[in-house]
Amino acid sequence: MTADNPLLKPAPGGIEARPVTAAARLMLGGPVALVTTSWRGAHNVMPLAWHMPISTDPPLVAIAVEQSRHSVDMISHSQEFALNFPTRPLLHHVQYLGALHGDRVDKFEATQLETFSPTHISAPLLVNCAGWIECEVREVMPFGDHVLFIGLVMSVQVNPASFGEQWRLGGHEETQPLHFLGGNIYATLHRALEAKVPRDFEAPERVLRERLETELELTREARERREERLGELERELERGNVVDVSELDSGLAPEPEDQIDLSKGVVLGGGPGAE
């Protein structure tokens, strides 16, 4: 009976305990938004990762904004905001905007962001984004060190190169939304994975176990291919040859832990100074 009780099984080896403040970081990974606001002729913009849909009928979204941010006052006064989902060209703008204080600096003047007119609210919308959501505030609730604003969605617009019925994967990276991973690290979408559920006549525990084993094997194979290709890359660099990193799959791009010296040889399409 003990072996079948999920509460009595020991944790897998290698698990690490982290401070409770790490919970927010674990929940990151969704598209970052640039929140634009306007009040009495002044405009502001700030990056935001803490946002979520909370209802489809009526269409409601929630954003959590740190209480000290100037956007709290802007949204509270104007009772509206817009979510702009930036793409790769705005990567550095997103990070820089998070370091500015809207009550001290005109962020639009400082960054010279290109804007266009909204359809239902007064806050400007930003060019070089994948999608835009305009909201009117319906509820304001302070929680801890953040304020939760619940907005009624008034308008949704998308760049069809970025979004169809879902975010488009692969293709041109400059049309994909930025996903915030924490700190100053972001990611873009690479490929889709299709989930399959057991059919009615199949034993779910057996089918799911088999698919788990398959997925683990696929990830092992991918890791082995990655290590093999990176080994080839390192050998070419040691010979001083020209290597075009852009030809690699994004999943094979060198990472810090690979400890590959990119200063050897000539690297095209990536590496230090590529941007």
pLDDT at 129 over 80: yes
* CA–CA separation, 175 and 188 (whole Å): 10
- Average pLDDT along the chain: 81
Instruction: Assess contact for 83 and 64: CB atoms under 8 A.
Output: no
pLDDT at 272 over 50: no
Domain parsing of the chain, residue ranges: 22-187, 204-268
Give the N- to C-terminal CA distance of the chain in Å, as an integer.
59
Confidence of residue 47 (pLDDT cuts 50, 70, 90): very high
Confidence of residue 273 (pLDDT cuts 50, 70, 90): very low
The pLDDT value given to residue 88: 87
pLDDT mean over 36-53: 94
The pLDDT value given to residue 134: 95
What digits encode the pLDDT tens for the residues 167-188?
888 767 788 899 998 888 888 8
* CA–CA separation, 85 and 31 (whole Å): 7
The pLDDT value given to residue 32: 94
pLDDT at 256 over 60: no
pLDDT at 26 over 90: no
Instruction: Assess contact for 33 and 84: CB atoms under 8 A.
Output: yes
- CA-nearest of 74, 86, 167, 166 to 122 is 74
Which has the higher per-residue pLDDT, 80 or 235? 80
pLDDT at 64 over 80: yes
User: What topology is assigned to 22-187 in CATH?
Assistant: Pnp Oxidase; Chain A (2.30.110)
The pLDDT value given to residue 265: 54
pLDDT at 259 over 60: no
* Least confident piece of the model among 90-104, 147-161, 200-214: 200-214
pLDDT at 84 over 90: yes
pLDDT at 15 over 50: yes
pLDDT at 228 over 70: yes
